[in-house]
Amino acid sequence: RTDTSERTSFTFLGGTIYLSGTIDAPDVKLNMGSDNAKDPYATTFLRKRGYGWLLEVEEDDPEDNKPLLEELDIDLKDIYYKIRCVLMPMPSLGFNRQVVRDNPDFWGPLAIVLLFSMISIYGQFRVVSWIITIWIFGSLTIFLLARVLGGEVSYGQVLGVIGYSLLPLIVIAPLLLVIGGFDVVSTLIKLSGVFWAAYSAASLLVGDEFKTKKPLLIYPIFLLYIYFLSLYTGV
Instruction: Annotate 184-226 with DSSP letters as a single string.
Output: HHHHHHHHHHHHHHHHHHHHHH--GGGGGGHHHHHHHHHHHHH
**Other C-beta atoms within 10 Å of 121: how many?**
16
pLDDT band at 32 (very low <50, low <70, confident <90, very high): very low
> By the 8 A CB rule, do 23 and 6 touch?
yes
pLDDT band at 108 (very low <50, low <70, confident <90, very high): confident
According to DSSP, the residues that pair with 3 across neighbouring strands are 24
pLDDT band at 40 (very low <50, low <70, confident <90, very high): low
Would you call 138 helix, strand, or coil by DSSP?
Answer: helix
Give the pTM. Answer: 0.64
Beta strands in the chain (DSSP E): 3-12, 15-24
Element (H, E) at 84: helix 76-87
Identify the pLDDT of residue 52. Answer: 61
Exposure string for 65-85, b = 16+ CB within 10 A, e = fewer: eeeeeeeeebbeeebebbbeb
Average pLDDT over residues 210-224: 85
Would you call 19 helix, strand, or coil by DSSP?
Answer: strand
Largest CA distance in the chain: 143
Identify the pLDDT of residue 44. Answer: 73
Q: 82-96 pLDDT, tens per residue?
A: 888 888 887 777 777
- Spatial distance between the Cα atoms of 106 and 203, rounded to a whole number of angstroms: 20
Element (H, E) at 69: helix 68-71
Q: How many CA atoms lie within 13 A of 231 on its CB side?
A: 26
Average pLDDT over residues 4-27: 51
**Other C-beta atoms within 10 Å of 235: how many?**
7
- Spatial distance between the Cα atoms of 175 and 149, rounded to a whole number of angstroms: 37
pLDDT band at 2 (very low <50, low <70, confident <90, very high): very low
Q: What is the DSSP string of 134-167?
A: HHHHHHHHHHHHHHHTT----HHHHHHHHHHTTH
Average pLDDT over residues 165-180: 84
Query: Does the pLDDT of residue 223 top 80, yes or no?
Result: yes
Average pLDDT over residues 27-37: 44
Minimum mean pLDDT among 2-6, 72-76, 164-168, 179-183: which range?
A: 2-6
